[in-house]
Amino acid sequence: MLRSIRFALGLVLVFSISAGTAHAIDWGWGGWGNWVNTPEGALGQGLGYYYTGAGIYNEKTAIADSINLDTMIRWNEYLHEANMEATRRYVARRRGDSARIRTLGDEIIKNLQENPTARDIETGDALNVAVAQLSDPRVSSSALKLATKPLDASVIREIPFRNASEAVTIVLNQVKAVTKWPTALDVERFAAEKKAFEEIVDKAVKEDEDGDISSDTLKQAHDLVSGLRAKLAATPLDGAKASQEASRFIKTVAGLIRMLERPDTSEAFNELRTVKSTSLGNLIAFMEVYNLRFGAATTPGQRLIYRQLYPALDEVRDRILRESKLDDKSTVLSNPSPVSDFFSKFDVDQAEGKGKK
């Protein structure tokens, strides 16, 4: 519990910095600019790119103050579970056995943790499993101070990162399956929006499994949120309870859609060009903040980088998990209530990334 408290308090710090100045603020480790030292406080495990680009920093600590500690902890635990489930599915699907995805996924994950092959490393799968374990909210962000191995900045620029959006589509699909369309909106005048919501979620899940979510699907999703907002503004629902239920749902969907968008890492990479060396801990922090994972190495240079990077990542993973004394935790995503609890504290503009920066 103490680790979770430290971690969640670190999230309050993330909320309290304006988007325009975050890279220049003294986080206690040199700031995002310069890519140096360790990622104490700035790590944002489980938060992903959303907080970097969504424009929610503008309210200073107001949002953080309104989100209680338990809500933060449950949100991060839930999203971490979704990321682990996404890793299982992604790896199992690459091995071509979707019919046994759960059983096979667990077996493969164990092999990737304990005895990865050269191919497992070069595809990025073994590295991604290690990063996923290190993003466990039960691991104190300060533990990543142990990841001090220096990395040449040019190495990071050569890594073929991919957007880790599948965890978000899993969460969005859970919202559709478990939370479902809210009763307050389950009337004839919102029937078209309900059908569109179900179709968009199914389409996003399918596209994410096959590759990237299309810009057309993301536009349809944003249009759905805008349409719902316009209808409710023109003719509000009767009763405070119905209005709150509808608002809660719309904010949740808007926030998750925002998280599906490809992150803009240009500023971070521009800053990376100004330094010669950074650390393994900063690489992990960068990947978590921008919701990135290792893509498959396709060139001799990339394969060499992975072969050199994996032993360092594996050593840090084993050491941190050993000292954290974490037990294995099965992933069962059955109730996405932590998601709606979290996003309920935002207004819809903030959830859509339209807030001031």
Residues 39 and 119 in one domain: yes
Instruction: Give pLDDT, residue 43.
Output: 35
**356, part of any domain:** no
Residues 25 and 158 in one domain: yes
Residues 42 and 113 in one domain: yes
**20, part of any domain:** yes
Residues 143 and 269 in one domain: yes
Backbone angles phi, psi at 344, to 5 degrees: -65, -20
**317, part of any domain:** yes
Q: Are 256 and 168 in contact (CB under 8 A)?
A: yes
pLDDT in tens, 143-202: 667 778 888 888 888 999 988 888 889 999 999 998 889 999 999 999 999 999 999 999
Rounded to 10 deg, the angle between the 300-324 and 125-134 helix axes is 30
Number of domains in the chain: 2
**237, part of any domain:** yes
Residues 288 and 307 in one domain: yes
Record the tokens describing residue 90, joined without a space: 């992604």
- Whole-structure pTM value: 0.76
**329, part of any domain:** no
For residue 221, the Cα-to-chain-centroid distance in whole angstroms is 19
**pLDDT-derived band of residue 214, with 50, 70 and 90 as boundaries?**
very high
Rounded Cα distance between 200 and 192, Å, is 12
Q: Are 345 and 63 in contact (CB under 8 A)?
A: yes
Give the HSE-up count for residue 281: Cα atoms under 13 Å, Cβ half-sphere: 22
Residues 145 and 276 in one domain: yes
Residues 143 and 283 in one domain: yes
Instruction: Give pLDDT, residue 79.
Output: 82
Residues 221 and 295 in one domain: no
For residue 271, the Cα-to-chain-centroid distance in whole angstroms is 22
Q: Which of 111-120, 217-226, 301-310, 330-339 has the lowest mean pLDDT?
A: 330-339
> Can you tell me whether residue 356 is helix, strand or coil?
coil
**101, part of any domain:** yes
Q: What is the mean pLDDT of residues 323-334?
A: 66
Residues 277 and 241 in one domain: no
Instruction: Give pLDDT, residue 141.
Output: 62
Residues 109 and 149 in one domain: yes
Q: What is the mean pLDDT of residues 290-298?
A: 89
**pLDDT-derived band of residue 103, with 50, 70 and 90 as boundaries?**
low
Q: Which residues contact 10 (CB under 8 A, 6 or more apart)?
A: 40, 41, 42, 43, 44, 141
Record the tokens describing residue 129, joined without a space: 């499993």
Residues 9 and 97 in one domain: yes
Residues 340 and 223 in one domain: yes
**330, part of any domain:** no
Q: Bridge partners of 163?
A: 292
What are the distances in angstroms from CA 305 to CA 159, 171, 228, 297, 301? 8, 32, 47, 9, 6
**pLDDT-derived band of residue 354, with 50, 70 and 90 as boundaries?**
low
Domain that holds residue 222: 166-211+213-261+335-351
Q: What is the mean pLDDT of residues 42-61?
A: 39
**357, part of any domain:** no
Q: Are 134 and 317 in contact (CB under 8 A)?
A: yes
Of 267, 281, 313, 210, residue with least CA distance to 38: 281
The residue with tokens 């991919």 is: 162
Q: What is the CA radius of gyration of the chain?
A: 20
